[in-house]
Amino acid sequence: QSAGSVRSFISPFPASSPTPPICQEMHRLQSIAARSLMAGALEPSRNGKAREKTLTMETLNPQVKAVEYAVRGPIVIKAGEIERILQEGGKKPFTEVIKANIGDAHAMGQQPITFLRQVVALCTFPELLDSPSFPEDAKRRAQRILQGCGGRSLGSYSASQGVDCIRQDIAAYIEQRDQGVPSNWENIFLTTGASDGIVSILRLLVSGEGRARTGVMIPIPQYPLYSAAIAELGAVQVNYYLDEDNCWALDVHELHRAYQAAKQHCQPRVLCIINPGNPTGQVQSKKCIEDVLHFAYEENLFVMADEVYQENVYAPDCEFHSFKKVLYEMGPEYFNSVELASFHSTSKGYTGECGFRGGFMEIVNLDPEVKAQLVKLLSVRLCPPVAGQAAMDVIVNPPQPDEPSFAQFHKEKASVLGALADKAKLTEQILSAVPGIKCNPVQGAMYAFPQIFIPPRAVEEAKALGMQPDMLYCLRLLEETGICVVPGSGFGQREGTYHFRYGSIFFACNYLVILIKREFH
Amino acid sequence: QSAGSVRSFISPFPASSPTPPICQEMHRLQSIAARSLMAGALEPSRNGKAREKTLTMETLNPQVKAVEYAVRGPIVIKAGEIERILQEGGKKPFTEVIKANIGDAHAMGQQPITFLRQVVALCTFPELLDSPSFPEDAKRRAQRILQGCGGRSLGSYSASQGVDCIRQDIAAYIEQRDQGVPSNWENIFLTTGASDGIVSILRLLVSGEGRARTGVMIPIPQYPLYSAAIAELGAVQVNYYLDEDNCWALDVHELHRAYQAAKQHCQPRVLCIINPGNPTGQVQSKKCIEDVLHFAYEENLFVMADEVYQENVYAPDCEFHSFKKVLYEMGPEYFNSVELASFHSTSKGYTGECGFRGGFMEIVNLDPEVKAQLVKLLSVRLCPPVAGQAAMDVIVNPPQPDEPSFAQFHKEKASVLGALADKAKLTEQILSAVPGIKCNPVQGAMYAFPQIFIPPRAVEEAKALGMQPDMLYCLRLLEETGICVVPGSGFGQREGTYHFRYGSIFFACNYLVILIKREFH
């Protein structure tokens, strides 16, 4: 029954749906800030002639203009407007906007891990170290972190690379995760979320002009941080396509094709991989990672492994393999040579602590002088938020079996990961049952990226409106159902195919609630 | 007596001081990361030929290479090394390194404001809302902030501009600070420290090529975030010199001179002001701010007002005037026209909460379409740390007279600001008493920027070593006394003059303790 009702309202362009004047709407949304109270671009001057603004769309940094970031784009602005209308008592065919545009677990009601919050609260307000209501293991963690902070305060700047003892804990965690592969804590850098690390490394790598300009290979579909950073840095985006028919697997032949094609007009120097995949949810096999690393070795590419979903693997036949571990197992020739940066975050996994902006990167085989340059670059922004660093420390240094918080911590962790796995399965099942939608299994991460088959007439309609067909679809889905998803065009997709990214973390809770509301109100 | 002993060891280049082989030392420090365990830049490949690294000093982004950031530069690396030597029992002519290189109050023992930490701890661990040991006003603040957060959790991403209710509190604070000048909360953007906001605005403003390239006018001496960001963005740095003989005042004739000179080779479009001054400690008069704004109006410059030290005014004859308020008082022709971004932070003032990376900017008269572009740009990095936003909220929304925490809050605030004022005075007095050093009054902020008269022979010696004379002075000061200060060359200074920046927050505590230790051990 529930699959049937889903079908009734998210099947692409049912014949009955009217066509709103949606083109003007898009333009309106794109310059939405016009609603502010500020005056226009021209002001009268004392001598009668208009005084021009210094900063206009004409004088704006063109690389900023080139940036696109769909995850918080026009659809999300529209969703915010509808939310305000509902709050003010306005009527819509639904009672709540479901923001499935972003992987923000707490916003959808996931509870924080108690131990993590206890440690951060103790660090924030050390008077609580005397409180009997906090467990001893949380206090030990907090005391250790504070000892690593200047003045024993979260309020001091840390070293630009992060607090030393947290870097050491991260290295120990990586060694354990990778079953003994050595990790040197001086190669660990705390970051402001993983995004900060990814942009910092890309920043180092962009150089050259014309055909010598740095090309950055990214998967398509991709998480749009990559295309945004590439545009802003003026690098060349080199697309390699994931194989949708093969559960979004990465095919090394496609890497070769993309590399050779790109060499005609730029110098590909960086290979970005997202594993588990965002927005595609696939988990790479060990064999596939070996192939990728071999390719990077041969072609002298710097590898950036976005592994923020490393704890989010649901499919029983899949397992997370870190790029670093696979590189190690390929032998010292590879392990001592391929330049690899890998990224992690407090925002995903089972903690979902996005707001703390915690994260780290491990960088191996970086040229020592370049490493000094990286430290210098990070120093300009002083340090990552220290509370986020403390949150990261809990993730890499969780309660041990002999500690008082062990049982509760693992219960909470298992509960979150279990719910995420259930929702991933349900997402795939429900979406696959809708005619006109095809959905690969969600093996990991937090999203499905289903293909939608949009009828040719609707495609033409969208094109006549100067809009991507999947953007039109998502706008209409939002207006009719209150469900906010991001169109595939924001992530990239093969020409002529259409998708959307759906945060699978929303299923089985609010999503189904909405269904029920719709069917019965 | 204390002035006498200061004289004995920080007077520039006393005849007795030996000359260490300091040139090699500098080179060593500049590539200090070479001490890491990583392999060198070349690795043997399976077929015998060396496999080159992808990312080397030759291929590194040249704009990254051009960045300099003295506040955490070679001197600070050396200070860290000496600290390690002392920790390991090594002998030095002192027992402790005094890191006066950075304005980090907590690192030097300043205590956090209790109310601020209570609110952030309550937000972090809401179970504490039931605890009788937290005051009701702190709980009210925390509940309000949490209601503004997705899922009522600090762990959710906020809007990219920050949590709405915090933006509203900031606007109310600004209106009160500026005695009724209107502030629209939709013009307020929370940031990751003030640095993040400053770099984001500069990023928008950089465009054009050759003579049309954006020129950014900055004071000399400046806080090196500005020169670093300008180098990284490939903009043109346009220096205007502060008047050292007139207590580092900003002279509008010098602005005109710098602007006209720069127009020959770039398009000056941005004027940066730091008030109260960093590293120079001056507080601008209202008349001076009017002159500056009039100049910006005439020359169509975007004004960036770095006002992070707005609470740090010590001289009895000085007062903080915000650029926005002065602009308002100049009349609607100015107030509705000059594009102005002003910046604030949790890191300075009386809170000194650097590690939380809290801050905000208010932007007036921004073109609405450009504002939408700014929101887009900020969205790529998702949001500023939410705990830092909560800390910012306490600063703009402190306890009121009828609230239980009022008395303690104001006692703590007055105590911190009183101590800072005492230290500023003492800094000036002690430094002025040293022959060869000339120090302007520290009217505000947290630093003195004394001039040091380095004998010609020592200048030649430094030049022979390929080093700035004040860098040599600071290195030797560090080696002989353990005091870590940043040379004036890192901030900029008139050719042939030499300075260092001294964090005045260190005086009267550790600094004098060191003196006593030196004299009596």
Q: What is the mean pLDDT of chain A?
A: 87
* Amino acid at site A482: G
B133 Cα to chain A: minimum distance (Å): 10
The answer, for A362 touching chain B at a CB cutoff of 8 Å, is no
CATH of B151-396, one of 3.40.1010.10, 1.10.3260.10, 3.40.640.10, 3.40.50.9100: 3.40.640.10
Which residue from A224, A248, A237, A277 is spatially nearest to A451, judged by alpha carbons?
A: A248
Q: Which candidate from B56, B64, B156 shows the least CB-CB separation from A203?
A: B64
Q: How far apart are the first and last CA of chain B?
A: 16
Q: Which candidate from A31, A192, A351 shows the least CB-CB separation from B368?
A: A31
The answer, for A150 touching chain B at a CB cutoff of 8 Å, is yes
- The mean pLDDT value for A489-501 works out to 92
The answer, for A147 touching chain B at a CB cutoff of 8 Å, is no
For residue B66, pLDDT beyond 60: yes
Tokens of B490: 């890192």
Distance between CA atoms of residues B159 and A102, nearest Å: 12
For residue A3, pLDDT beyond 50: no
3-state secondary structure (DSSP) of residue A242: coil
| Superfamily of structural domain A2-31+59-109+414-520 | Aspartate Aminotransferase, domain 1 (3.90.1150.10)
Q: Where in chain A is the domain with CATH 3.40.640.10?
A: 163-396
Distance between CA atoms of residues B323 and B331, nearest Å: 13
Distance between CA atoms of residues B337 and A46, nearest Å: 11
By the 10 Å C-beta count (0-12 exposed, 13-18 middle, 19+ buried), A267 is classed as middle
Q: Are B292 and B272 in contact (CB under 8 A)?
A: no
Distance between CA atoms of residues B33 and A371, nearest Å: 6
3-state secondary structure (DSSP) of residue A248: coil
Judge: A117–B133 Cβ closer than 8 Å, yes or no.
no
Q: Where in chain B is the domain with CATH 3.90.1150.10?
A: 2-30+59-109+412-520
CATH number for the region A163-396 comes to 3.40.640.10
Place of tokens 């972190």: A145
- The mean pLDDT value for B35-56 works out to 54
B182 Cα to chain A: minimum distance (Å): 11
Q: How many residues does chain A have?
A: 521
Q: Where in chain A is the domain with CATH 3.90.1150.10?
A: 2-31+59-109+414-520
Judge: B371–A36 Cβ closer than 8 Å, yes or no.
yes
The answer, for A60 touching chain B at a CB cutoff of 8 Å, is yes
Q: Which candidate from A186, A302, A382 shows the least CB-CB separation from B193?
A: A382
Distance between CA atoms of residues B100 and B92, nearest Å: 18
**Chain A residues with CB inside 8 Å of B373's CB?**
57, 60, 64-65
Residue A144, φ and ψ in degrees, nearest 5: -65, -45
By the 10 Å C-beta count (0-12 exposed, 13-18 middle, 19+ buried), B309 is classed as buried
The sign of the CA dihedral A132, A133, A135, A141 is negative
ipTM: 0.87
The answer, for A271 touching chain B at a CB cutoff of 8 Å, is no
Strand partners, A498: A452
Q: What is the mean pLDDT of chain B?
A: 87
Judge: B124–A34 Cβ closer than 8 Å, yes or no.
no
Q: What's residue B517's pLDDT?
A: 41
Q: Are B446 and B431 in contact (CB under 8 A)?
A: no
Distance between CA atoms of residues B349 and B308, nearest Å: 7
DSSP for A186-232, please give it.
GGEEEEEHHHHHHHHHHHHH----GGGSEEEEEEES--THHHHHHHH
DSSP for B144-180, please give it.
HHHHHSGGG-TTSPPPTT--HHHHHHHHHHHHHHTTT
The answer, for B40 touching chain A at a CB cutoff of 8 Å, is yes
Write the pLDDT tens digit of every residue in A352-394.
999 999 999 999 999 998 999 999 899 888 899 999 999 999 9
Q: What's residue A513's pLDDT?
A: 40
Write the pLDDT tens digit of every residue in A288-302.
999 999 999 999 999
Place of tokens 């762990």: B155
Query: Cα A190 from chain centroid?
Result: 17
Residues in Cβ contact with A70 at an 8 Å cutoff, skipping those fewer than 6 apart: A224, A486, A487, A489, A490, A491
Write the pLDDT tens digit of every residue in B76-112.
888 988 988 998 999 988 888 888 887 788 888 889 9
Q: What's residue B341's pLDDT?
A: 97
Residues in Cβ contact with B251 at an 8 Å cutoff, skipping those fewer than 6 apart: B243
Place of tokens 């699978």: A504
Q: How far is CA B213 from CA A106, B206, B216, B237, B257, in A?
A: 44, 7, 10, 10, 19
Higher pLDDT, A141 or B10: A141
Q: Determine which helix (DSSP H) or strand (DSSP E) holds A252, and give its type and residue range.
A: helix A252-262
Q: Determine which helix (DSSP H) or strand (DSSP E) holds B118, and give its type and residue range.
A: helix B114-124
Tokens of B58: 């030759």
Q: What's residue B49's pLDDT?
A: 54
pLDDT band at A29 (very low <50, low <70, confident <90, very high): low
The answer, for A297 touching chain B at a CB cutoff of 8 Å, is yes
**Chain B residues with CB inside 8 Å of A31's CB?**
368-369, 372
Tokens of A283: 């988990």
Q: Which candidate from A157, A196, A204 shows the least CB-CB separation from B354?
A: A157
Judge: B157–A376 Cβ closer than 8 Å, yes or no.
no
- How large is the greatest C-alpha to C-alpha distance in chain B, in angstroms? 79
Domain B2-30+59-109+412-520 = CATH 3.90.1150.10? yes
Q: What's residue A102's pLDDT?
A: 79
Q: What's residue B10's pLDDT?
A: 53
The answer, for A203 touching chain B at a CB cutoff of 8 Å, is yes
Q: What's residue B17's pLDDT?
A: 44
Query: Cα A155 from chain centroid?
Result: 28
Strand partners, A482: none
| Count of other CB atoms within 10 angstroms of residue B161 | 23
**Chain B residues with CB inside 8 Å of A387's CB?**
120, 124, 355-356, 385, 387-388
Strand partners, B217: B238, B271
Q: What's residue B1's pLDDT?
A: 35
For residue B44, pLDDT beyond 50: no
The answer, for A38 touching chain B at a CB cutoff of 8 Å, is yes
**Chain A residues with CB inside 8 Å of B228's CB?**
380
3-state secondary structure (DSSP) of residue A15: coil
Q: Where in chain B is the domain with CATH 3.40.640.10?
A: 151-396
What proportions of chain B, in percent to the nearest 5, are helix, strand and coil? 50, 15, 40
Judge: B155–A353 Cβ closer than 8 Å, yes or no.
yes
Distance between CA atoms of residues B226 and B271, nearest Å: 11
Distance between CA atoms of residues A322 and B439, nearest Å: 56
Residues in Cβ contact with A392 at an 8 Å cutoff, skipping those fewer than 6 apart: A166, A170, A190, A346, A358, A359, A360
Instruction: Determine if the peptide bond prior to A398 is cis (ω within 30°).
Output: no
Q: Which candidate from A31, A207, A228 shows the least CB-CB separation from B369?
A: A31
